[in-house]
Structure 1
Amino acid sequence: MNVAQLQKSIKEYAASIGIDKIGFTTAAPFLELKNRLRRQQELGYQSGFEESDIEKRTEPVLLLDRAESILSIAIAYPSKMEGSPKGKRGERRGIFCRASWGMDYHHVLREKLQLLEEYISEWLPDAKMRSMVDTGELVDRAVAQRAGIGWSAKNCSIITPEFGSYVYLGEMITNIPFEPDIPMEDQCGDCTLCLDACPTGALIQGGQLNAQRCIAFLTQSKKPIPEEFRAKIGNRVYGCDTCQTVCPKNKGKYNLHQPSFEPEPELTKPLLVPMLNLSNREFKETYGHMSGSWRGKNPIQRNAILALAHFKDESSVPVLAELLVKDPRPVIRGTIAWALGEIGSSEGKAAIERAILQEEDPEVRMEMEKVLETNQRKC
């Protein structure tokens, strides 16, 4: 089998194992991307989760000796959930973003790429391959754009005509000289809905994101969320879908065909108060199979507290008051102090007045004092 025949066969095999799109591009350097990443680094717009070495992110030959081509794959995930539970007074719910519904996509895509590697090895036993999903050095979106999977949109997602931007991406570098596919032309046009709708102004301009302001990043950070963003988190416990849900190209794209990513309603829209006392073990047993669990329970519980503040849920005050005294984590206690201030009940104020007498962490005390001073001015 020659390379052209193998390429055609790979596309057919990919479809048979549940890969929704596959494209091919060269292993040439991503020169334009390299300049953009340097600028992002200079501006301090990076999240800190990405590979710090820009050369590795843009030079595939540094990752695989004699690299010739890159395969890009896309698997669609659902944007719609059947049987979505409704929150109500006393039973408020949070929401995990769509990219965390169902099974952790890292595992699913790695499995598909492993199957592709095994398939290629059957025909070319000496072929060299290196696959990665999201946490690898390469920029998934840049590879997908050049491989013709979709176009790089103003909301910094890859948009496909078939599935919108609701796709997971992965890639494989190989030393096989496959014929590259043609990149897709930009189809965003003059639309700026995603930029206009971003809750924190994280989308600086089309295709440029300040990750430090992005809610998706903020919900994953383990640090206290800066005060200017807390009220904007809403009831999101992980991630943010706003720039996708407002996109006209995503209208009617439900993508319900992948069983691995079928959402579990009670987990994707969890009750907030029960989340607050989960142990590490309980959290892993309940949410460990979801990609949104990768940072552990601490950021999720902090976000759940912010969500209770968003709802001004007075029924949660007794639980929050107890944790304000007993929880060993300063980030949690500081967030609770702010949340009690937002809820604004007399019971919450009294809880802060009691807790501040034993609080030793200076930042937590500062949060408490700020709430009490604000309350005093209102009186």
Structure 2
Amino acid sequence: MNYQLLKEEIIEFCKHNGIDKIGFTTADPFTEMKNRLIRQEELGYQSGFEEKDIEKRVNPSLIFEEPKSIISIALTYPSKMKNAPQSKKGERRGIFCRASWGKDYHDVLKDRLAKLETFISSKVPNARMRSMVDTGELVDRAVAERAGIGWSGKNCSIITPEFGSYVYLGDMITNLPFEPDAPIEDGCGTCNKCVDVCPTGALIQGGQLDSKRCIAFLTQTKDFLPEEYRSKIGNRLYGCDTCQTVCPVNKGKDFHFHPEMEPDPEIAKPLLKPLLTISNKEFKEKYGPVSGSWRGKKPIQRNAILALAHFKDETAVEDLIGLLNKDVRPVIRGTAAWALGKIGGEQAFLALKHSLEKETDQDVIVEIKKGLDFFNEA
């Protein structure tokens, strides 16, 4: 079998089948990544969403019998929204990060990888393959880096020369011995912009992230958001793009190659107040197709409340009082109480005083008192 010819045929197939970049690497263990993951774990920087077994994350042979090579693919996504609606007084809007615009990227990449598997099988019927996107065991950034897709930037994203860091990544382990591609030389140099402007200081140093401080992680949690971060998430409903938007390599990078990745402006940048009372059914119908919905509506609603507090939106006071008095979820009641204090006004003050008399949940009582403290500070 001429594997070099097959590799060239695969590259050509990708050009015409919605894969923007492809790279090949060995199936050797990722020893450097193992050391980094161990260090991350020791420092308590892991998010908790990762595969728990570090050995599986760095050793392809533990998840695939006799692997010979790994294929890495990248698909670029838009960085600019056409016809983006404006947030204005009384009609404030939140924002989903760019990676959650359009159809859920997991589905898009799985589709591309499935087509690639079919093509390879047509050429080599006995080929074995296993594809994964994001939630697989392997660290897709490590695979992409070694496969020459891009370099691992100080913002902890893979940065490609062509598309910047606005790329989704997918991997395919195979038993076919392809010639590996060479990694790309690091292009960050002395630039430290992403580290310097990270809103929560989550980028400890270039290439090291404290996931628990990262806004992208914080917006996905379901509990009360720690108070030190509440004023820092702004109007973000899911994810954070700051470390990407300040990257000089990303300047001017905006590609619209894939129709399914185009955002619906009313979903990617939705009105905040309707989110407060949206039903589970409505949420699934409207937001279910985007990746930012994977944790359900509760984190999005909590973040919408914090965004309204960020804007000090007085038109939302009645809606927030409704949540404080009627919502069965303590996190939503308590966050609404905090937001009412942040927004201020007599109506909010009276609502907090009244709720303090009847609330029984201790966590919510703490938040009501925090809300009332804002009035004492005024």
Task: Give yes or no for the alignment of 1:99 onto 2:99.
Answer: yes
Task: Provide closer, same or farther for how the CA distance between residues 346 and 143 of structure 1 changes in structure 2, counting only shifts above 3 A.
Answer: same
SS in 1 for 2:172: strand
Of 2-11 and 179-188, deviating more is 2-11
Conserved 8 A contact 1:80-1:256 = no
Instruction: Give deviations 1:21-47, integer Å, cap 9, x for gaps.
Output: 000000000001001000100111000
> 1:337 aligns to what?
337
Task: Provide closer, same or farther for how the CA distance between residues 103 and 377 of structure 1 changes in structure 2, counting only shifts above 3 A.
Answer: closer
SS in 2 for 1:111: helix
> 2:53 aligns to what?
53
Aligned length: 378
Of 104-113 and 356-365, deviating more is 356-365
SS in 1 for 2:171: strand
> 1:167 aligns to what?
167
Task: Give the CA deviation at 1:257.
Answer: 2.0
> 2:311 aligns to what?
311
Alpha-carbon RMSD: 0.9
Instruction: Give deviations 1:268-324, integer Å, cap 9, x for gaps.
Output: 110000011111110000011001111110000000000000000000000000110
Q: In structure 2, what residue type is equivalent to 1:189?
A: G
Cα distance between partner residues in 2 of 1:33 and 1:100: 27
SS in 2 for 1:233: coil
Q: In structure 2, what residue type is equivalent to 1:329?
A: R
SS in 1 for 2:179: coil
SS in 1 for 2:32: helix
SS in 1 for 2:134: coil
Conserved 8 A contact 2:74-2:169 = yes
> 1:231 aligns to what?
231
Instruction: Give deviations 1:328-355, integer Å, cap 9, x for gaps.
Output: 1111111111111111122111111111
Cα distance between partner residues in 2 of 1:146 and 1:331: 43
Cα distance between partner residues in 1 of 2:353 and 2:362: 15
Which runs of 4 or more aligned residues in structure 1 lie more than 3 Å from their structure 2 counterparts after TM superposition?
none
Task: Give the CA deviation at 1:373.
Answer: 3.6
Conserved 8 A contact 2:78-2:256 = yes
Q: In structure 2, what residue type is equivalent to 1:178?
A: F
Cα distance between partner residues in 2 of 1:26 and 1:349: 63
Structure 1 residue ranges without an equivalent (≥5): none
Cα distance between partner residues in 2 of 1:15 and 1:51: 32
> 1:189 aligns to what?
189
Cα distance between partner residues in 1 of 2:299 and 2:92: 18
> 1:219 aligns to what?
219
Task: Give the CA deviation at 1:122.
Answer: 1.1
Pairing 1:6-21 to 2, within 5 Å after superposition:
6-21=6-21
| Structure 2 length-normalised TM | 0.99
SS in 1 for 2:237: strand
Conserved 8 A contact 2:341-2:373 = no
Pairing 1:30-41 to 2, within 5 Å after superposition:
30-41=30-41
> 1:262 aligns to what?
262
Cα distance between partner residues in 2 of 1:142 and 1:338: 41
Cα distance between partner residues in 1 of 2:50 and 2:367: 31
Cα distance between partner residues in 1 of 2:165 and 2:364: 40
SS in 1 for 2:231: helix
Cα distance between partner residues in 2 of 1:345 and 1:69: 63
> 2:108 aligns to what?
108
SS in 2 for 1:349: helix
> 1:76 aligns to what?
76
Task: Give the CA deviation at 1:375.
Answer: 2.1
SS in 1 for 2:232: helix
Q: In structure 2, what residue type is equivalent to 1:338?
A: W
Instruction: Give deviations 1:109-138, integer Å, cap 9, x for gaps.
Output: 001001111111111111111100000011
Cα distance between partner residues in 2 of 1:315 and 1:374: 19
> 2:130 aligns to what?
130
Cα distance between partner residues in 1 of 2:208 and 2:69: 27
Structure 2 residue ranges without an equivalent (≥5): none
Of 260-269 and 24-33, deviating more is 260-269
Cα distance between partner residues in 1 of 2:239 and 2:264: 17
> 2:177 aligns to what?
177
| Structure 1 length-normalised TM | 0.98
Q: In structure 1, what residue type is equivalent to 2:254?
A: Y
Conserved 8 A contact 1:147-1:181 = yes
Conserved 8 A contact 1:155-1:244 = yes
Cα distance between partner residues in 1 of 2:3 and 2:317: 65
